[in-house]
Amino acid sequence: MRTRVAIIGAGPAGLLLGHLLQRAGIDSVILEDCTQAHVEARIRAGVLEQGTVDLLEQAGVAARLRQQGMVHHGIELRFDGQRHHIDLSGLTGGRAITVYGQHEVVRDLIAARQACGAPLLFEVSRVALHGLDSQSPSVSFDHGGQRQVLACDFIAGCDGSHGVSRQAVRPGALQVFERTYPFAWLGILARAAPAAHELVYAGHARGFALFSMRSPEITRLYLQCRPDEDLAGWSDRRIWDELHARLETGDGWRLNEGPVLQKGITPMRSLVTEPMQHGRLFLAGDAAHIVPPTGAKGMNLAVADVRNLAHALAMHYQHGRDDLLAGYSSACLARVWRAEHFSWWMTSLLHRFDDHTPFMARLQHAELAYVCASQAASRMLAENYVGLPFAPLPA
């Protein structure tokens, strides 16, 4: 087998990269170890920045997003039993977020790739990367009961933080910056009509809580919990009681309850890999960086990465330019670290830490009050939450 770009991973990063390359006339093969059904059913974050929505529109894969995506022009911060609205659009010149599940984006991109007949192989195993420092890298893998070798010009590692791509780089060539948080999120999907039209971030003495939604019929909710929390100890009734306690306000607002369709524990960590490339391997999305979900940046950073990588590859093949490939990491990392800081800041603003003394609680409360009272502070939150505009792509 032979292709120009071998893409490891059929998540949003790998699928969008393949789609952008296809539109630029650059062939690629996408390899994924899971089944198509599993990939399309993975429930992840669903808050799309303005720039992400615009790029999906430009790429021609936003038809269902336009029909089903829920555009939000603000978010709500809650503390002291009171609600505080942050006018995202009013503070950012009309920019907004769109709630549209990551698995829906994945389905749209899979459908687009299969419609054009470009190679997308599911259920591959024993994937190994070779020749990263050479001019002729390759990927070996098992598929359909046979061992195969895919020769290529470049490899895009889009296979997440536990994938084979980053591990294939020789020790010491990459530096990893990492922080693990002393808490996790207990998340549920419930068949219940959302009780609010915007996302709600709540700081509470019992811990953080987040109200979100996936559709007009499905509510997504999270509770701060211990990282070693035993899910078996959380009955549906206990979860709803805790959500009511942390989210409800003094004006009578209440959650809508319904059958819990899914529950799970999400660990919280930050991770950045520098550089995001080695030889002919380029890392994108979770393979290169992880953010705590508080800032809703994970998939949006992946989209920003592959926007840069697809353009750099197009300039290589169409104009013989290699400077953009050489500068891929630096082009991505400025945005990555800004998103890491914002996600850390949002996390620190709203969660209870192990050393949460009365002094630290007062400082946190003062910060929340300032963000809600100061237009400058609200604008900082809004600009980062809707996503800073993409840097222009070099001509």
pLDDT at 29: 98
Which listed residue (12, 19, 72, 351) is catalytic?
A: 72
* DSSP letters spanning 198-255: S-EEE--TT--EEEEESSSSEEEEEEEE-TT--GGG--HHHHHHHHHHHH--TT---P
DSSP type of residue 131 = -
Burial 183-199 (b: 16+ CB within 10 A, else e): bbbbbbbbebebbbebb
Which listed residue (100, 181, 201, 328) is catalytic?
A: 201
Known catalytic residue at 385: yes
The answer to whether 8 touches 280, Cβ cutoff 8 Å, is no
Torsion of CA 285, 291, 296, 300, to 10 degrees: -20
pLDDT at 42: 82
Known catalytic residue at 201: yes
pLDDT at 243: 97
Query: For the whole model, what pTM was predicted?
Result: 0.95
Q: Distance of CA 319 to CAs 17, 304, 310, 324, 393, Å?
A: 19, 22, 14, 11, 15
Scanning the structure block, which residue is given the tokens 């809580």? Answer: 209
Known catalytic residue at 181: no
Which residue pairs from 39-44 have beta carbons closer than 8 angstroms and sit at least 24 positions apart in sequence?
39/10, 39/11, 39/106, 39/110, 39/122, 40/103, 40/106, 40/107, 40/110, 41/103, 42/102, 42/103, 42/106, 43/101, 43/102, 43/103, 43/189, 43/262, 44/101, 44/102, 44/103, 44/298, 44/299
pLDDT at 46: 85
Strand arrangement of the beta sheet that strand 146-151 belongs to: 125-130, 138-143, 146-151
Residue 36 three-state SS: helix
Crossing angle of helices 328-350 and 375-386, in 10° steps, is 130
pLDDT tens sequence for the chain (395 residues): 999 999 999 999 999 999 999 999 999 999 999 999 999 988 777 899 999 999 999 999 999 999 999 999 999 999 999 999 999 999 999 999 999 999 999 999 999 999 999 999 999 999 999 999 999 999 999 999 999 999 999 999 999 999 999 999 999 999 999 999 999 999 999 999 999 999 999 999 999 999 999 889 999 999 999 999 999 999 999 999 999 999 999 888 999 999 999 999 999 999 999 999 999 999 999 999 999 999 999 999 999 999 999 999 999 999 999 999 999 999 999 999 999 999 999 999 999 998 778 999 999 999 999 999 999 999 999 999 999 999 999 88
The answer to whether 292 touches 268, Cβ cutoff 8 Å, is yes
119: cis peptide before it, omega within 30°? no
pLDDT at 338: 97
pLDDT at 130: 98
Known catalytic residue at 297: yes
pLDDT at 220: 94
pLDDT at 45: 72
Model confidence over 298-310: pLDDT tens digits? 999 999 999 999 9
Known catalytic residue at 365: no
Which listed residue (19, 278, 289, 297) is catalytic?
A: 297
Residue 52 three-state SS: helix
The answer to whether 88 touches 96, Cβ cutoff 8 Å, is yes
Q: Distance of CA 126 to CAs 119, 122, 148, 320, Å?
A: 19, 13, 10, 34
The answer to whether 173 touches 278, Cβ cutoff 8 Å, is yes
Q: State the greatest distance between any 2 C-alpha atoms of the chain, in Å, as a whole number.
A: 65
Domains of the chain: 5-46+101-174+275-354 (3.50.50.60), 178-268 (3.30.9.10)
- Report how far Cα 149 is from the mean position of its chain's Cα atoms: 31
Scanning the structure block, which residue is given the tokens 């002729």? Answer: 136
Which residue pairs from 35-39 have beta carbons closer than 8 angstroms and sit at least 24 positions apart in sequence?
35/122, 35/123, 36/110, 36/122, 39/10, 39/11, 39/106, 39/110, 39/122
Q: Which of these, 106, 90, 113, lies nearest to 18 by C-alpha position?
A: 113
